[in-house]
């Protein structure tokens, strides 16, 4: 495959999916590429088949999500930003359908045509409505082929657009009045949606739409050891995808994990507004690794501070004061943290 910045899950893990398929003797639901057990092993890991863990949360949550997708209801993954909702959605689609690309990004500008279908106007004007002139949405294609479709940030879609999904989810069919036909979903079709808890009030879902989904809350990782493992795994994978060979400074990762743990749990009134997710921690360590690689210097605490500033602060000036308070109250006297304290002091305690 020609090099790309980010391969789809079914491309990135193609060999693993093939190994699971070859060894999969269990019953698969209609339209599924793998059995439910094999889907779980793809996401949660299988030592015997050399399948590494990809989701570092509760295995029971993954199992419930898989069971939800076997039923009539769709799956709604909700949680704070950066809790791997989108990643879990993509992994489920890759394992179940062999295709994670039937995706709609929810925004305030999402239209009904993006959910259903639109027209090639040149063909429409020359020959009138026809299947050849029809431009199929990702949901249309997923229904037609018996695959999973995904909607990101569903609560950012206007209410009337969300309501279009009610009939799609209830009837499992899509009417095309211009052609006098309706597309009926094939076995294997279902919908995975994600919603950000911080944006829940933007366009809250109606009770009717909520009834069409089983909800699963994807929590923030609270186990520092698991978070450390995830950060090292994700950053190493990114570097490998980029063709780079660099040994990560695990002590620096340990420091960052402890900082995030402190800032999430022990700050009281000084709690930061910034998103302190594992995804942000991965970006910080990846930035440190790239700095180290291209400046040809070891990873060090000053890089960590610089990356934290760029990743966390953004436009939240008050968070600088809170980081300064953390340095003074917590980091100053911690053994082995002197370099981190001095680098942070220069940037945050002016």
Q: Domain check: are 210 and 230 in the same one? A: no
pLDDT value of residue 267 = 72
269 has a pLDDT exceeding 80: no
Domain C-terminal end among 202, 217, 232: 217
Between CA 52 and CA 320, with CA 289 as vertex, the angle to 5 degrees is: 110
pLDDT tens, residue by residue, 205-217 = 889 999 999 999 9
Q: Domain check: are 203 and 148 in the same one? A: yes
Q: Would you place residue 121 in the very low, low, confident or very high pLDDT band (cuts 50, 70, 90)?
A: very high
Q: Domain check: are 262 and 315 in the same one? A: yes
Q: Domain check: are 208 and 149 in the same one? A: yes
Q: Would you place residue 140 in the very low, low, confident or very high pLDDT band (cuts 50, 70, 90)?
A: very high
Domain C-terminal end among 217, 237, 268: 217
Is 112 among the domain residues?
Answer: yes
Q: Domain check: are 148 and 238 in the same one? A: no
Q: Domain check: are 189 and 316 in the same one? A: no
Tell me how far apart the alpha carbons of residues 27 and 310 are, in angstroms, rounded to a whole number: 48
User: Residues 53-82: what's their mean pLDDT?
Assistant: 95
User: Residues 143-158: what's their mean pLDDT?
Assistant: 96
Which structural domain, as residue segments, surrounds residue 33?
9-217
Is 1 among the domain residues?
Answer: no
Q: Domain check: are 84 and 208 in the same one? A: yes
pLDDT tens, residue by residue, 292-317 = 999 999 999 999 999 999 988 887 88
Place of tokens 């009539």: 72
Q: Domain check: are 28 and 105 in the same one? A: yes
Is 267 among the domain residues?
Answer: yes
pLDDT value of residue 271 = 80
Q: Domain check: are 27 and 168 in the same one? A: yes
Is 38 among the domain residues?
Answer: yes
Q: Domain check: are 195 and 110 in the same one? A: yes
Within a 13 Å sphere around the CA of 252, how many CA atoms are in the beta-carbon half? 25
Average pLDDT of every residue of the chain: 93
Rg of the chain in Å (alpha carbons): 23
Q: Domain check: are 148 and 71 in the same one? A: yes
Specify the number of domains making up the chain. Answer: 2
Q: Domain check: are 147 and 201 in the same one? A: yes
Partners of 263 in beta bridges:
none
Q: Would you place residue 201 in the very low, low, confident or very high pLDDT band (cuts 50, 70, 90)?
A: low
Structure pTM?
0.92
């Amino acid at each position: 495959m020609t090099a790309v910045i980010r391969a789809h899950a079914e491309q990135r893990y193609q060999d693993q999916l093939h190994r699971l398929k070859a060894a999969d003797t269990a019953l698969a639901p209609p339209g599924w590429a793998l059995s439910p057990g094999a889907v779980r092993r793809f996401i949660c890991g299988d030592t015997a088949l050399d399948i590494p863990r990809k989701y570092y949360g509760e295995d029971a949550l993954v199992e419930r999500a898989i069971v939800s997708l076997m039923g009539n209801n769709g799956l709604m993954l909700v949680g704070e930003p950066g809790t791997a909702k989108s990643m879990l959605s993509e992994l489920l689609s890759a394992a179940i359908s062999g295709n994670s690309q039937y995706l709609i990004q929810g925004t305030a500008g999402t239209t009904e045509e993006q959910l259903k279908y639109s027209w090639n106007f040149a063909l429409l004007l020359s020959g009138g409505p026809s299947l050849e002139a029809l431009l199929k949405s990702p949901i249309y294609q997923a229904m037609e082929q018996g695959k999973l479709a995904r909607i990101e940030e569903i609560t950012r879609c206007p209410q009337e657009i969300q309501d279009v999904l009610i009939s799609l989810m209830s009837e499992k069919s899509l009417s095309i009045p211009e052609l006098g036909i309706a597309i009926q979903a094939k076995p294997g079709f279902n919908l995975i949606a994600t919603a950000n808890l911080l944006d829940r009030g933007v366009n809250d879902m109606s009770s009717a739409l909520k009834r069409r989904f089983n909800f699963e809350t994807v929590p923030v990782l609270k186990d520092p050891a698991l978070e450390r493992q995830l950060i090292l795994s994700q950053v190493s994978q990114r570097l490998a995808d980029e063709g780079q060979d660099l040994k990560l400074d695990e002590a620096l990762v340990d420091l960052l994990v402890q900082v995030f743990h402190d800032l999430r749990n022990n700050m009281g009134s000084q709690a930061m507004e910034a998103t302190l997710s594992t995804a942000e921690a991965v970006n910080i360590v990846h930035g440190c690794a790239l700095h180290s690689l291209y400046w040809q210097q070891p990873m060090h605490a000053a890089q960590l501070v610089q990356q934290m500033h760029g990743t966390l602060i953004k436009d939240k000036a008050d968070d600088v004061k809170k980081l300064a308070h953390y340095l003074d109250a917590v980091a100053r006297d911690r053994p082995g943290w002197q370099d981190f304290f001095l680098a942070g002091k220069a940037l945050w305690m002016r």
